[in-house]
């Protein structure tokens, strides 16, 4: 996968792409990152990328020309048609399902805004508009990092175990079950006996029930988008009764 990022602050990505899973993914040649300062594509001698908004108002607005030309160059030199992703508060809320969808692409281009906003015409060249939540950030860089991390970890052979991401929160639509490691007794706080039993059937059932319990207690809204099988629905009803 190729990932291009258009940003006025490319140095922000150095540590992120050079660390942990994202670094490992590039070392395994599962992904190649390129961060482009779209100021380089400005066609005026001062290399300005923003201007005052028509109609007046506070703040500056990103001009369409530098971003249009940067995206056109990256698209024309691409072997496949890329998905062009605009990070913005008006975009669709990013989800695990969206990450899985993007992980199937060969080339992604992320546009990170700054200042008051984008010239509206920039939206004409994007395929996706994504928001990471209902809050305002200084720019789109942190949002792009978040989306990229969620996508790259899904690429084949990036994680240590192929099934690792399948057990993550939201991959099944539910929050993940609790995890424990050694020691079995830490200052009087003990690991549940079932996890020490060696009975994998009982362990699997415990994990599913705890996933249901944690989702019900912390994010019951997620059940509006999940269709449980009869057994899991029965366990959920038991959990609801226990919590009353």
Q: Rounded distance, CA 43 to CA 244, Å? A: 65
Residue 137 known to bind ligand: yes
Counts of helices then strands in the chain (DSSP H, E): 7, 10
Token digits of residue 155? 């690429």
Tokens of 163: 């099934």
* Rounded-to-integer distance, Cα 120 and Cα 118, Å: 6
Contact 82, 125 (CB under 8 A): no
Mean pLDDT of 175-190: 96
Residues 136 and 234 in one domain: no
CA atoms of 186 and 191, how far apart (whole Å): 8
Q: Determine if residue 119 is labeled as part of a ligand binding site.
A: no
Give the tens place of pLDDT for each residue, 191-225: 999 999 999 999 999 999 999 999 999 999 999 98
Distance (Å, whole) CA 50 – CA 64: 9
Same domain for 126 and 177: no
Which residues form the catalytic set?
89, 116, 153, 168
* 143 and 113 share one domain: yes
Residue finishing a domain among 152, 180, 213: 152
| Amino acid 58: pLDDT | 86
CA nearest 226: which of 171, 147, 177?
171
Same domain, 29 and 96: yes
Q: Which whole number is the average pLDDT over 99-106? A: 98
In a domain, 186, yes or no: yes
pTM passes above 0.75: yes
Instruction: Check the annotation: does 135 bind a ligand.
Output: yes
Whichever domain contains 50, its CATH number is: 3.40.1280.10
Residue 98 has pLDDT above 60, yes or no: yes
Reply yes or no on whether the pLDDT at 110 is more than 60: yes
* Domains in the chain, number: 2
Closest CA to 222 of 73, 97, 119: 97
Residue 177 resides in a domain? yes
Instruction: Examine residue 164 and state whether it is found in any structural domain, yes or no.
Output: no
109 labeled binding residue:
no
Q: Which helix (H) or strand (E) is 117 found in, with range?
A: strand 117-118
| pLDDT confidence tier of residue 172, bands split at 50, 70 and 90 | confident
Q: Do 173 and 141 belong to one domain?
A: no
CA distance 242 to 236: 10
Q: Which of 122, 152, 182 is the last residue of a domain?
A: 152
Preceding peptide of 183 cis, ω within 30° = yes
- Containing domain of residue 198, as a range? 169-243
Q: What is the pLDDT of residue 162?
A: 53
Residue 163's pLDDT is 46
Annotated binding residue 133: yes
Whether residue 226 sits in one domain with residue 173:
yes
Instruction: Find the mean pLDDT for residues 175-191.
Output: 96
Contact 145, 93 (CB under 8 A): no
- Average pLDDT score, the chain: 94
**Domain for residue 219, yes or no?**
yes
In a domain, 46, yes or no: yes
Residue 54 belongs to some domain of the structure: yes
Residue 148 marked in a binding site: no
pLDDT digits (tens, 9 = 90+) for 4-55: 999 999 999 999 999 999 999 999 999 999 999 999 999 999 999 999 999 9
94 and 27 belong to one structural domain = yes
CA dist 230 and 234 (Å) reads 6
Residues 144 and 185 both lie in one domain: no
Q: Is residue 87 part of a domain?
A: yes
Provide the CA 89 distance to its chain's centre, in angstroms.
Answer: 15
- Confirm whether residue 134 is marked as ligand binding: yes
Asked whether residue 159 is domain-assigned, the answer is no
């Amino acid at each position: 996968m190729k990932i291009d990022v258009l940003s006025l602050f490319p140095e922000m990505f150095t540590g992120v792409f050079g660390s942990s899973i994202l670094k490992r993914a590039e070392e395994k040649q599962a992904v190649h990152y390129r961060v482009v300062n779209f100021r380089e594509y400005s066609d005026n001698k001062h290399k300005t990328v923003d201007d005052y908004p028509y109609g007046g108002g506070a703040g500056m607005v990103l001009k369409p020309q530098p971003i249009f030309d940067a995206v056109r160059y990256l698209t024309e030199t691409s072997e496949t048609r890329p998905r062009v992703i605009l990070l913005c508060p008006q975009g669709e809320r990013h989800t695990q399902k969206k990450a899985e969808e993007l992980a199937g692409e060969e080339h992604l281009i992320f546009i990170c805004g700054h200042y008051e906003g984008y010239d509206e015409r920039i939206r004409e060249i994007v395929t996706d508009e994504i928001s990471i939540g209902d809050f305002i950030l200084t720019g789109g860089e942190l949002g792009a990092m978040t989306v990229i991390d969620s996508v790259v970890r899904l690429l084949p052979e990036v994680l240590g175990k192929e099934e690792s991401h399948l057990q993550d929160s939201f991959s099944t639509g539910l929050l993940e079950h609790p995890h424990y490691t050694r020691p079995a007794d830490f200052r009087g706080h003990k690991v549940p006996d079932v996890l020490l039993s060696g009975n994998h059937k009982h362990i699997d059932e415990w994990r599913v029930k705890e996933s249901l319990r944690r989702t019900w207690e912390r994010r019951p809204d997620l059940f509006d988008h999940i269709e449980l099988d009869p057994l899991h629905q029965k366990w959920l009803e038991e959990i609801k009764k226990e919590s009353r």
